[in-house]
Amino acid sequence: MNYKDSTTSEEILNRIRTFMDDNGGIVKKEQLSGLGIDYRRVLDYVENGKLIRIKNGYYTDRLDRFTEEQLISKLFPDAMLCMESALYAYGYLKEKPYGWHLAVDKNTSKSRFKMDYPKVIPYYTEPESLQLGATKITLEGCEFGIYDKERLICDCLKYESKLSREQYKAALMAYINDPEKDISALMEYARERKVVKKVQSMIGVWL
């Protein structure tokens, strides 16, 4: 197919792959345009299996470059691990949950999360609540934003219906038995998240 470019298709593809290698393995549509590459060529590469569209506007040449952790950390650096994903990261759940549960600004474009792999389950959050209890954690060599344990448990109490009964009970008991728990911080978050009565009834009786 001729796009009025004397450079061969294979040469252009090699330029893209070199650029990917220099930029962590994933490139955006805008970056390819910046290289002077016609977007119709990119679409041809995707159709022919030479490039993979991870999600709208993001491309790589092969998915086996990355673990799930690497993909999520690269694609959603502004998100926070929450609910099941955060519980699993802290060891409060033993079974890895289906999909990645991410808290994101409610004003974030919903199209960001339309991808087949890895599965992403977004929780659209008020901007002023998004950073409440925010901290960092390293998983499989990748850094993620995550809520601290006290904020996380308050969210589990607040959104109890989003967890299975087994997950809910496991999360609460794991926190209760955690020697590093901070009850004063828990009560502060409970007031912010409006779950004081639940904290007192579900956790207070065990303390």
- Tens of pLDDT along the chain (207 residues)? 444 444 688 888 888 999 988 888 888 889 988 888 888 888 899 888 899 888 888 888 888 888 999 999 989 999 999 999 999 999 999 999 989 999 999 999 898 898 888 899 999 999 999 999 999 999 999 999 999 999 999 999 999 999 999 999 999 999 999 999 999 999 999 999 999 999 999 887 676
Residues 40 and 82 in one domain: no
Residues 23 and 103 in one domain: no
Residue 2 within any structural domain of the chain: no
Residues 111 and 134 in one domain: yes
Residues 48 and 86 in one domain: no
Residue 76 within any structural domain of the chain: yes
Residues 24 and 121 in one domain: no
Domain range enclosing 150: 68-206
**Could you say which of 27, 50, 65 is where a domain stops?**
65
What is the domain count for the chain? 2
Q: Which long-range contacts (CB under 8 A, 24 or more apart) does 75-80 make?
A: 75/26, 75/112, 75/115, 76/102, 76/104, 76/112, 76/120, 77/145, 78/104, 78/105, 78/108, 78/145, 79/103, 79/104, 79/122, 79/145, 80/104, 80/130, 80/134, 80/144, 80/145, 80/146, 80/147
Residues 74 and 149 in one domain: yes
